[in-house]
Amino acid sequence: KNNDFPTFCTQRQIVEREKDAPKIRAKTSLTLALCGSLTSFRVSEVFARIFGASFSRSTIWRCVQKVGKSLFFAISPDELGEGQADGTGIPINGIAKRGKELKVLIQKNTVETARKTGSRWRLAGLDLGSYNGSWENLLRPSLEAIRTFKSFLLTTDGDDTIRKGLGNLTILLQRCLWHIPHQLKYCLWEDKITRTSELWKTIMGKIYQIVALRPYLEEDEIEAFIKLKKKDLNKLLDYCREQGCQKSANYLENAGPDMFTALQNRLHGKATSQVERVMRTVNLRINYGKWSITGALNAMKIRLAFYYNGYDPSRNELKPK
């Protein structure tokens, strides 16, 4: 026999392999869970077969649920005091259309962490529940960490339940300036203003001017700039009321106090553009069929941890940062 290619295992080799078996099984489970979160279970099954392994879709699904359930996210006091929060509808079994809302909280990374993870932002909270509420569950694990910051800027789409979820915690809230014109269109529709009318065009033209902020302003220009913007907003409010657009006026009045928080405090951040990209990452996977609540949540935990928190079992990064 050729000694270079033994046809049997020694007792020692057998013992060593038995010792490594749990590690191999755990690594396989983590890898299958990652595959199941990145693409459909059917495609994951095919890829496994291509590389000489045989795993059923149900096995991959169970791995996703097991691994996803073990992942935990919260605001880190070691990163920057800036976050964004938003939600997106998720197709749930037995519920028409987008039955539940996936709520996402992200935090800006330090330069050092960004280099390690490959992302300027990290996932800091994820929860799936009704459209009105459940922000308390998402924010609760992060409240103590947020208190450690001298100031914490949170940009939101204007969901009032986010403010309620913060309890008595005082932070800087910035209303997303992209969402304001977007949601104002719905308010105008509720006011029965047709999209082709001059009134619609006038109101939308004015609000786009108000939310357009110059990127570079000198220190002595900021206060005057904000004062001018608020004056224009008040004029638009009066105009909406004069034209009978009460719902639009109420919406703008509610948005007004948090429109220029970041600029007033000399901070960057005026839109939830980064968390919107996270939502796009979610939708690329979640739109494959309908999910159970826990199934969707666990799959998205793994997927977003991979894209934003440096979690990659294939590179031995077994814990999200």
Query: Within this chain, do residues 82 and 164 fall inside the same structural domain, yes or no?
Result: yes
The answer to whether position 28 is within a domain reads yes
Window from 2-6, 66-70, 158-162, 276-280 with minimum mean pLDDT: 2-6
Final residue of a structural domain among 252, 270, 288: 270
CB 79 within 8 A of CB 106: no
> Domain span at residue 282?
71-174+272-321
Q: Is a pLDDT exceeding 90 seen at residue 274? A: no
CA–CA gap between residue 88 and residue 282 (Å, rounded)? 9
Best-predicted range by mean pLDDT (54-63, 132-141, 311-320)? 54-63
Q: What Å distances lie between residue 113 and 23, 81, 110, 268, 311, CA to CA? A: 28, 14, 5, 19, 13
Between the alpha carbon of residue 224 and those of residues 39, 109, 263, the distances in Å are 51, 32, 12
Write the pLDDT tens digit of every residue in 53-100.
888 889 999 999 999 999 999 999 999 999 999 888 887 776 665 568
More confident residue, 290 or 114: 114
Q: Could you tell me the pLDDT band of residue 272, with boundaries at 50, 70 and 90?
A: low
- Could you tell me the two tokens for 234? 């008040």
Give strand pairing partners of 104.
86, 126
Nearest alpha-carbon partner for 295 in 15, 50, 62: 62
Q: Which residue among 47, 70, 93 closes a domain? A: 70
Q: What span, in angstroms and rounded, lies between the C-alpha atoms of 54 and 44?
A: 10
* Whole-angstrom distance, CA of residue 165 vs CA of residue 78: 22
Mean pLDDT of all residues in 23-44: 86
**Tens-digit pLDDT profile for residues 148-198:** 999 999 998 888 788 888 888 889 999 988 889 999 999 999 999 999 999
Residue 137 and residue 195 in one domain? no
Same domain, 95 and 40: no
pLDDT for position 286: 85
SS3 277: helix
What tens digit of pLDDT does each residue of 230-265 get? 999 999 999 999 999 999 999 999 999 999 998 888
Q: What is the DSSP string of 116-135?
A: HHS-SEEEEEEEEE-SS--H
**Contact indicator for 63, 36 with CB cutoff of 8 Å:** yes
| Amino acid code (one letter) for 99 | G
Compute the mean pLDDT over every residue in the chain, rounded to the nearest whole number. 85
pLDDT at 19 over 60: no
pLDDT at 95: 62
Question: Is there a single domain that holds both residue 53 and residue 193?
Answer: no
The pLDDT of residue 20 is 46
| Residue 184: partners with Cβ closer than 8 Å, 6 or more residues away | 203, 204, 207, 248, 251, 252
Residue % of the chain over a pLDDT of 70: 87
Structure tokens at 236: 């638009």
C-beta of residue 75 within 8 angstroms of C-beta of residue 125? yes
The residue assigned the tokens 């159970």 is: 292
pLDDT of residue 87: 85
R_g of the chain, CA atoms, integer Å: 25
